[in-house]
Chains A and B, each alone.
Chain A
Amino acid sequence: MSSSIRTVVQALEDAADSVHTGFRFIDESKKSEPFFTYRDVERATARYAGAMQAMGLKKGERITLILPKNQDFVFAFLGALRAGIVPVPIYPPAGLRKLGGYLQNTLHVVRKSGARVVLTDGSIRRLLGTVQSGAPDLQRIEAIESLHDSREPFEPEKISLDDHCFLQFTSGSTSAPKGVIVSHRNIAANVRRFMEDGLEVETGDSGVSWLPLYHDMGLIGFVLGPLFYQNTMTYLPPILFLKRPVRWLETISRLRASISFGPNFAYALCVKRIRDADIEGLDLLSWRVAGCGAEPIRACDLDAFSRKFAPAGFDRRAMLPCYGMAEATLAISFDRLGKGVRTENVDADVLTGELKARVADPGRCRVIEVVNCGKTFEDHQVAVFAPEDAASEKPLPDRAIGELRVRGPSVTSGYFGEPELTKEAFAGDWLRTGDVGYIVDGDIFICGRQKELIIVNGRNYYPQDLEWEASRIDGVRKGNVIAFGTGKPLEDRERVVVAFETSVSDHDVRETLKQEVRKAVMRATGLSIDDVVDLDAGVLPKTSSGKLRRNETRRLYETGELFKRTSARRSDAIGIAKQIVRSQIAYARGALLMKK
């Protein structure tokens, strides 16, 4: 088996020799679990590739995949790659949710990617009428069922490392999802590092995953990685895990699997939902790497998991904190294997006040426990910079807090069809991660993020979406809503707050309005809203150009000042006047310097 840099298509063709390892798909409703050797996978995907070519799709064109069944997704995704067609995965509609926001998001992705075909299943196809009519490049919405027995011949395409492999749209937003371009070279570089250096994967390793395949951790980590190294994988439907977390651990136990990953919330959910009686039947001795990534890691949650499942043979040293993001293909760093969760306590006041991570004794001051996410991989670099260092000229020293930036062969060339956003994503030749942290001897520690993203239960929520929903309610001042996450992301679940302005003065009406805002946002996002704050007109902080300042609002909320600002219009006006005066002085100084 070759581990050299190859395209996914080459890796798939190489894997066709394997008649012992492959993919197993657990289907909840049929209670069956078909197993396909890599030889079977090679043959089946050629059929899908042929069927897509017969639809008139050419190399480089995009196909959107909305396929809730893992087996359909894997075959269609790999089939598209073989034909050089660029798949664009979209998450399927979630149950118990209104469809409105979902359809809007889907339409945006279809249009942005310029996809000519949407491939989905028969039941979802019926829901997508508005998508068909709203996307001019879209020629058809095809049901996967019609491809299952296709006999169309497949004409192999020449695929090179620099061809686009697929587009990874950042999840969760109706406002502006962006499509990260992932090339075959990106995949090859990242897979090699996390499989060989990160996981030290061996022939006998096998994985179990319930992770959604439209997301990088499930797709690259547990479909493409294993394919390159021909390890056996077993997939559970994500919804099965969410309904019955014990099924994840039962599957690992039954199949003697050695590698499985989940976001922090997955481990917490197992602790909360799995009954002691169910632990008795589990044997987790084979589980050598229990990876954790994709959202902030809280050591206490992972510790609780380790303790709870120790009687079933779970080894706490199997826990592996990781750090990564779609823009870096998947993985940026893994901690060392077999060490468990390593943390350090840093002085909370020094952290926020002096922007330094000073190790401190919990008995003597307020501390924050930060998880060590390990070192980045060979031929990749991670460094910390001051956010205003736009060209990444001066990396900050060890233990200084700043923005983490990364460069190397796993980093994307940018967002599809978005030159402006691509430019903003880089500082010099470094990718801005948007995460705030520090480095000690190469080990990466994350302590927060600059991005205004709200992350709950492994899902990213964009504040704009929540704000938009709230803005639609009568009585809420349009464009004067700010949503943000707050609390101590490392110690506690993120709390979600929506603050809005209103001209209504009647107390009871305002209370009703708050209820309506809460309901509208929850209905659209499925997210629990912890607090809704009603404010008088002009209270929310804005920039001089009138843009809402989310991080400032969060700060005011956390210090309690937000509630004291009964009407800040006057003080805002004074603030703006001061700014103008200041900028004029600066301009005058600049002019003087120029003269010299």
Chain B
Amino acid sequence: MSWTHEEVVIEVRSVVAEHSEADVDITETSELVADLEIDSLAVMEVVADLEDRFEITIDESELQDVVTLGEVVAAIENRLEADDKLKETVSA
């Protein structure tokens, strides 16, 4: 299956929302740990869920210095692109 940018954002947001216990809005600049209160152990569960959704394997090296939701989206897109599973978004 291939994904567009918008689809990736929606999926990442929904996975993250399932794990966040913080009562705040989730935006692209939300930090998983500091804003959404997903601790370092729970974050690994998020990664596993993302791998299942997108059918990819994310190496830890691809997550270095990645802290916001937007950066997670970018990391996923890099992986999808490398696996040839990212669709060009058609601009209106």
Contact = CB atoms under 8 A, between A and B. Distances in A.
Contacts of A387: none
A94 B40 contact: yes
B54 to A, nearest CB: 14
Contacts of A29: 57, 59
A93 B64 contact: yes
A265 B41 CA distance: 10
A243 B51 contact: yes
A177 interface: no
A97 B33 contact: yes
A309 to B, nearest CB: 20
B31 interface: yes
Interface string A119-160: 001011001000000000000000000000000000000000
A68 B43 contact: no
A242 B39 CA distance: 12
B40 A527 contact: yes
B43 to A, nearest CB: 5
Given A243-B45, A269-B41, A95 B33 contact: no
B61 A68 contact: yes
B90 to A, nearest CB: 31
Contacts of B35: 519
Nearest to B64: A93
Contact of B40 (A28, A92, A96, A518): A96
Interface string A90-133: 00111111110000000000000000000001011001000000
A96 B66 contact: yes
B30 to A, nearest CB: 11
B23 to A, nearest CB: 12
A58 interface: no
Contacts of A525: 40
A43 interface: no
Interface in B22-64: 31-35, 37, 39-41, 43-45, 47-48, 51, 57, 59-64
B6 interface: no
Nearest to B36: A522
A contacts with B: majority SS:
loop
A273 interface: yes
A522 B37 contact: yes
A518 B59 CA distance: 28
Contacts of B57: 28-29
B88 interface: no
Contacts of A239: 44, 60
A523 interface: yes
Interface string A18-43: 00000000001100000000000000
A127 B64 contact: yes
A244 B58 CA distance: 13
B78 to A, nearest CB: 13
Interface residues of A, number: 33
Interface in A235-267: 237, 239, 242-244, 265
Contacts of B31: 519, 523
A95 B64 contact: yes
Interface residues of B, number: 26
Contact of A528 (B37, B47, B51, B64): B37
Nearest to B68: A96
B18 interface: no
B67 interface: yes
A526 interface: yes
Q: Which of A95, A237, A273 has the most CB of B within 10 A?
A: A95
A351 to B, nearest CB: 30
A395 B41 CA distance: 40
A316 B80 CA distance: 43
Interface string A520-545: 10110111100000000000000000
Contacts of B47: 95-96, 243
Contact of B60 (A92, A265, A518): A92
Interface in A202-259: 237, 239, 242-244
B33 A96 contact: yes
A457 interface: yes
A526 B60 contact: no
A242 B44 contact: yes
A96 B65 CA distance: 6
Contact of A243 (B37, B40, B44, B62): B44
A95 B66 contact: yes
A244 B48 contact: yes
A132 to B, nearest CB: 17
Nearest to A527: B39
A523 B40 contact: no
Given A243-B45, A526-B43, 12 more contacts: A93-B64, A95-B61, A95-B66, A97-B40, A97-B65, A98-B67, A237-B60, A239-B60, A243-B48, A243-B51, A519-B31, A522-B33
15 contacts: A29-B57, A68-B61, A95-B43, A95-B60, A96-B43, A98-B65, A123-B61, A124-B61, A243-B48, A265-B41, A525-B40, A526-B33, A526-B39, A527-B40, A528-B37
Interface of B: 31-35, 37, 39-41, 43-45, 47-48, 51, 57, 59-67, 72
Interface of A: 28-29, 68, 92-99, 121, 123-124, 127, 237, 239, 242-244, 265, 269, 273, 457, 518-520, 522-523, 525-528
Sorted nearest first, the 6 A-B pairs with minimum C-beta distance are A95-B63, A526-B40, A242-B44, A519-B34, A243-B48, A523-B34
